[in-house]
Structure 1
Amino acid sequence: MAYNCQNSRILAPDQKFISSSIRTIKLTQKPTSVMVWGAITSDGRTPVVFIDKGVIINKEVYVESTLENALKPWAGKRFNGAHWVSQQDSALSHKAKMTSEWLKLNVPEFISTEEWPTSSPDLNPMDFCIYGPS
């Protein structure tokens, strides 16, 4: 007899061999979560920016809390005037015109949403190197 809850499995010849305390696994409908922002380069990463609980990331919040207050000062120190390129994923706040305008004024070069193929999965290093499978 096998009991399975996602990746937790208990194998036993009969249910009587399994303690009742571990037969039922309690799950929460809405687990605790945290939203963060970060950026990586070939030789380093930004400090992680924790987004306050309940904050909805729209274009104004994204530009102010992450680009202006985190990326700009970090990149100024990190690259010290050297050329660098910014690449984002396709989140709505990243694709917003306000965000593109900020990037044009503050970043030496960035990959715009027009340069991404349509209906293409994001080819974002953060998805593969930071959050993806190890």
Structure 2
Amino acid sequence: MFDIDGIYSSQNGRIWAVNLLAADTNGGIRQKRKFPQKVMVWLAVCFKGVSPLVIFEDGTVDHDQYIKEVLPVALKFGHDTFGADWTSQQDDAKSRIHAKSQEWCAKHFPCFIDKDHGPPSSPDLNPLDYCIWDKLAHQVNWDAVTSKTTLINEVKRAVRKVSLNVVFEICSSWTNRLYRLSQVKGSYLR
């Protein structure tokens, strides 16, 4: 979720600090508007790059929108990037675990990890969560964001600036992260 006050993620937007002053110094405490204009962004990532961006201007997405607007983009990106030999893994957002979304994926993707067989909800297992969203947010020129239109334009520009080397490196580290998570029995990585 992006809004005109900056990037927002209730799951991963954490600052680890010894006290509130240290959190504030590291960007943890910021004044935000009560009802800022916002957009929801969908993006897929793999070791060969990032998918085309899908933006939901009203800031939400249900399973019908997800099936209609996102899954065809994911399917085309997968086929264009890997041909007929690839696997789709999703997080457990409501629109993705809905029965109709799961059915669509099982029917159309060459291989699909369903909601019952995917990794637990953990930002430490999702390259988008543990790196790419942060890289993307740092590429946005937040001084230029004054409206929903400028926000959308800046997010589109920022996606084009995310380095393919960074994407490859982050995705390559996934199996190591999986091993490290098994060692800490699912706790957050530090």
| Length-normalised TM-score, structure 1 | 0.68
- The AA in structure 2 aligned to 1:121 is S
Query: After TM superposition, what 4+ stretches of structure 1 lie above 4 angstroms from structure 2?
Result: none
Q: Which has the higher strand share?
A: 1
- Report the equivalent of 2:65: 61
- Report the equivalent of 1:102: 104
- The AA in structure 1 aligned to 2:35 is K
Deviation at residue 26 of structure 1 after TM alignment: 6.5
Q: Deviations over 1:50-102 (max 9, x none)?
A: 11225x3111110111002x112222222222x11111111011111111111
- Report the equivalent of 1:75: 78
Which structure is richer in relative contact order (CA contacts within 8 A, separation 6 or more)? 2
Q: Distance in 2 between matches of 1:129 and 1:26?
A: 24
Query: 1:37 aligned to 2:42?
Result: yes
% identical aligned pairs:
30
Root mean square deviation of aligned Cα: 2.7
Alignment length, in residue pairs?
110
- Report the equivalent of 1:131: 133
Does structure 1 conserve the Cα–Cα contact (< 8 Å) formed by 2:63 and 2:98?
A: yes
- The AA in structure 2 aligned to 1:92 is K
Query: 1:92 aligned to 2:109?
Result: no
Q: Distance in 2 between matches of 1:34 and 1:50?
A: 7
- The AA in structure 2 aligned to 1:78 is T
Q: Which has the higher helix share?
A: 2
Q: Which has the larger radius of gyration?
A: 1
CA gap of 1:121–1:76, structure 2 versus 1, over 3 A, is closer
| SS of 2:41 mapped into structure 1 | strand
| Length-normalised TM-score, structure 2 | 0.50
CA gap of 1:96–1:27, structure 2 versus 1, over 3 A, is closer
Q: Deviations over 1:6-56 (max 9, x none)?
A: 736xxxxxxxxxxxxxxxx975223332211110111111011111225x3
Question: What runs of 5+ residues in structure 1 fail to find an aligned partner?
Answer: 9-24
